Structure 1
Amino acid sequence: MAAAGPAADAARAVVPGDQLVAAALIGIVLIVVLISWAKLHPFLSLAIGALATGAIAGLDVAAASTSFASGFGTTMGGVGILIALGAIYGKLLADSGGADRIVETLVARATPRSLPWVMGLIGAIIGLPMFFEVGLVLLVPVIILVARRSGAPLMRIALPTLAGLSAMHGLVPPHPGPLAAIGMLGADLGLTLALGVLVAIPAVVIAGPLFARFAERWVPAPVPLLFIASGEAALARRPSFVATLASILLPVVLMLAKAIADIAAPDSGAAWKAVIDFLGLPMIALGIAVVAGFFVLGRGAGFGRDKLQEVVGSSLGPVAGILLIVGAGGGFKQVLVDTGIGGFIAAQVDGSSVSVLLLAWLIAVVIRIATGSATVATITAAGILQPLVAGLDQATAALLVLAIGSGSVFLSHLNDAGFWLIKEYFGLDIGQTLKSWTVLECLISVVGLVGVLLLGLVL
């Protein structure tokens, strides 16, 4: 991303701010029309829309192409690797019968009424130490199999889980956005963590189990034909529930250990800290989970080397399209960043005279809508507001971080890689994704803001 920015700056003509906004809107409309009306593949539609946006916003064709390629590569280098590892793990979980063990336990012990609440809690627990994308690729097999086995509508199971993941990602450190904002605004990490959990709870409840009751009627989507165990061998022997649960929680524990170490000893140069930091990297933690799964899940199901090789080979084909689409979404986002659209909109909001907490939320919202990145929105908004925090107490500084975090998840749409992940994993069309995932993100954002404002009255 850093490489594309200077090149884009050099190749961009100075254009009026309203032209930048028009470029973003035209690009988004073009992508929707190409996918929905022309039936063009989303990968090609996103590429065309990104280049058109760059051209209208003053980038020359070469710079727009470089920007798109940079965003594509950055996204694939991060999220793409996680998707591939998650696909291998998910297929292994399904074919070994381990997912069936987890699903049977959840379905047997939870009533139909309590199941969405259980899934929301699972999403929040998994999402506490993990990046959203990592938690998603780990939980997608469980979401799909719980919906298939219980007979519940897909949205009733998926949305509470996604709400837990997303709320923790946007509001609670040690996720990168909130952690960066804490450093820039001088907020206390422990206080922000405690208040973040307090704000996240009602956001998860309202955007998850409660909203799912309506969304299951708005979006009557069938359960995707993914993670169906292949062959009868998977039914002969299955890993135990405890072994399967330990396998799922292994990357969670590794990343949680890194988060705790970062909080307890942020400046330590000790060897143990270096080891924990390495093992807690999302790609490393998920890679370890895959290797451990070969033994815990594969051997537990009686798989030999040939069967394990077959599982790995068959897992990657179905996600190839998802990888390209998510990468292209990252490319579109980078074009929007490099054109300066987010910065222009933020500057307009920054000149207003509203409450500092509401102002923080608004700035993060407009940058999120313009760029599609929650982390970019959080860091940019924190940078804009940094001069305002000199006279603030610690409680207000912590609430400022949470207001920014709430705004950073607002209105996920076509320029957000997460939008395409949800769409493709659950087999939705654009309209269904907007009516479910996008509304869920807006609810988390607004409920988070209300929670922050209410806390601001008593702290």
Structure 2
Amino acid sequence: MSLLIVLFGIILLFILILKKLSPMIALLTVAIITGLLLGMPVVKVTTSITNGIGSTLGSMVMVLALGAMMGKLIEDSGAARKIVSILMQTFGYQNIQWAVLLTGLLVGIPLFYNAGFVVLIPLVFAISAATGLPKLYIGIPMAAALSVTHGYLPPHPGPVALAALFHADLGKTLIYGLVLAVPIAIIAGIYFPRLIIKKGNVQKPDNLLFAEDAGLPSGFKSFFVALLPVVIIAAGTIGVGLLADSALKTFFIFISDPTVALLVAVILTIITQDVPIKKAMESCTEGVKGIAMIILIIAAGGAFKQILVDSGVGDTVAALAAPIQLSPLFLAWILTALLRVTLGSATVAALTASGMVIPLIGPGVSAELMVLSVGAGSLMFSHVNDTGFWMFKEYFNLTLKQTFLTWTAMETIVSILGLLGVLLLSQLV
């Protein structure tokens, strides 16, 4: 009976989102209704919601805020454009897809998906016009790179939120995510478009494409600030794993904390970029404003998650799954994928699924791989109820059929390969 009530709640959530209600309001409303229908006392419902919001945001709000500041500083300083310019000129236009893919990965780590898309889409169109290549031939590598960073790599909201909910180590999640993200991006972003799009002849581009480089920061500064958060977190995590107890290990534990790493990265970015402090602070403020609604949606998702946990629904799912001889990672992916197809939003699907799959994390099940499995499921089969679907369709002026054959197929490849990668990693770590 409890699972039927949860199903009703998910259907209600789908209807409310379909009616264009804010996902935050929809999640809170559904959380309260679901809790009451599951027989939870009113006081317990409100307590669960408060605890869910607090436990979710308490460990990640600063990570999200600092990550947004970092991304906005990189965007406003021109560092992202400089990285693009260097990679394009280094790879050459015969290998333009590889340059765009690597650009998407580097720019996508500090920037959120929508911001990265908006920053890079003018470049995609400029390269297409300069080389005569189809826009989709250039655009799919960019979209695939941004998608894998969005689904698998902190400091993006989904992986950060899931790591907090599953009590996963964010540094390990980042390292495992990088192991998955690179080959998946290559398959979905390079080889997939080559199968479905004929590129024709490449003409030599006009050198004026990067004529505005003079006003941008140096290449060293640009790569330094873009990769700094990842380098600090990864270095701290690797140091902790390799060193015995010592003062040096304590230092690595300190810098591997995502909040500390991102704070250091933001401060060093402000120092190294030739930007007045006042302007840098304005960029930081705008960056946080840009993710305010994302933070609220995650908070509401945490409330819904806590209702599912406190009501015992997660234990019910675990009990039903016990006789089924399937990996908990696979079950988590299936559940998240179904919610993604139903609800549209990757973040909402991941947060909704988390409350049901937390009890599946037991001995022998890596919390970090569970984060990536749910992240992979949240990217499955993007279609008409996903804003990313419409953004891709409208920017590239596609029909619905063309969007399904390109964007939806690419997202599905990213999701399925993510699942296979997680299952393979589970046998190795």
TM-score by length of 2: 0.67
Q: Is the 8 A contact 1:215 1:435 kept in 2?
A: no
Q: Is the 8 A contact 1:372 1:413 kept in 2?
A: no
3-state SS of paired residue (2:217)? coil
In structure 2, the residue matched to 1:330 is 302
Task: Say whether residues 1:412 and 2:388 are aligned partners.
Answer: no
Partner of residue 254 from structure 2, selected from 275, 278, 281: 278
Task: Say whether residues 1:381 and 2:347 are aligned partners.
Answer: no
Q: Deviations over 1:234-287 (max 9, x none)?
A: 99843211111111222222111111122212x51x211111211121111111
Q: Is the 8 A contact 2:188 2:410 kept in 1?
A: no
Alignment of 1:194-205 (within 5 A): 203-205=184-186
Q: Is the 8 A contact 2:106 2:226 kept in 1?
A: no
For structure 2, the 5+ residue unaligned runs are: 126-134, 155-161, 198-211, 340-348, 381-385, 394-399
Q: Is the 8 A contact 1:411 1:438 kept in 2?
A: no
| Offset at residue 54 of structure 1 (A) | 1.5
What is the rounded CA distance, in whole Å, between the counterparts of 1:405 and 1:309 in structure 2?
33
Q: Percent identity?
A: 25
In structure 1, the residue matched to 2:71 is 90
Task: Say whether residues 1:444 and 2:417 are aligned partners.
Answer: yes
Structure 1's 283 and 195: CA in aligned 2 closer, same or farther, altered over 3 A?
closer
Q: Is the 8 A contact 2:32 2:45 kept in 1?
A: yes
What is the rounded CA distance, in whole Å, between the counterparts of 1:80 and 1:215 in structure 2?
41
Q: Is the 8 A contact 2:56 2:299 kept in 1?
A: yes
Which piece of structure 1 moves more, 306-315 or 371-380? Answer: 371-380
3-state SS of paired residue (2:291)? helix
Alignment of 1:357-436 (within 5 A): 358-365=326-333, 372=350, 380-383=359-362, 407-412=373-378, 435=408
| Offset at residue 136 of structure 1 (A) | 5.7
Structure 1's 448 and 87: CA in aligned 2 closer, same or farther, altered over 3 A?
closer
| Offset at residue 294 of structure 1 (A) | 0.9
Structure 1's 88 and 66: CA in aligned 2 closer, same or farther, altered over 3 A?
same
What is the rounded CA distance, in whole Å, between the counterparts of 1:244 and 1:211 in structure 2?
30
Alignment of 1:204-283 (within 5 A): 204-209=185-190, 237-265=215-243, 268=245, 270-283=246-259
Q: Deviations over 1:337-395 (max 9, x none)?
A: 2222222122212113x4xxx44444444675799468888874352668xxxxxxxxx
In structure 2, the residue matched to 1:147 is 121
3-state SS of paired residue (1:307)? helix
What is the rounded CA distance, in whole Å, between the counterparts of 2:360 and 2:224 in structure 1?
39
What is the rounded CA distance, in whole Å, between the counterparts of 2:315 and 2:39 in structure 1?
15
3-state SS of paired residue (1:351)? coil
Structure 1's 194 and 321: CA in aligned 2 closer, same or farther, altered over 3 A?
closer
In structure 2, the residue matched to 1:316 is 288
Specify the code of the residue in structure 2 equivalent to 1:272: L
Specify the code of the residue in structure 2 equivalent to 1:305: I
| Offset at residue 109 of structure 1 (A) | 3.9
For structure 1, the 5+ residue unaligned runs are: 1-18, 127-133, 170-174, 183-189, 217-233, 387-399, 415-421
Q: Is the 8 A contact 1:181 1:382 kept in 2?
A: no
Q: Is the 8 A contact 1:71 1:331 kept in 2?
A: yes
Structure 1's 318 and 255: CA in aligned 2 closer, same or farther, altered over 3 A?
closer
Alignment of 1:38-77 (within 5 A): 39-77=20-58
| Offset at residue 311 of structure 1 (A) | 2.5
In structure 1, the residue matched to 2:8 is 26
Structure 1's 215 and 336: CA in aligned 2 closer, same or farther, altered over 3 A?
farther
Q: Deviations over 1:271-329 (max 9, x none)?
A: 111112111211111111111111112x2xxx323323332333332322222122222
What is the rounded CA distance, in whole Å, between the counterparts of 1:78 and 1:437 in structure 2?
32
3-state SS of paired residue (1:383)? coil
Specify the code of the residue in structure 1 equivalent to 2:7: L
| Offset at residue 160 of structure 1 (A) | 2.7
Structure 1's 436 and 28: CA in aligned 2 closer, same or farther, altered over 3 A?
farther
Structure 1's 77 and 135: CA in aligned 2 closer, same or farther, altered over 3 A?
farther
Q: Deviations over 1:115-160 (max 9, x none)?
A: 555565677789xxxxxxx946478655542233222566541333
| Offset at residue 196 of structure 1 (A) | 9.5
What is the rounded CA distance, in whole Å, between the counterparts of 1:247 and 1:26 in structure 2?
46
| Offset at residue 83 of structure 1 (A) | 2.4
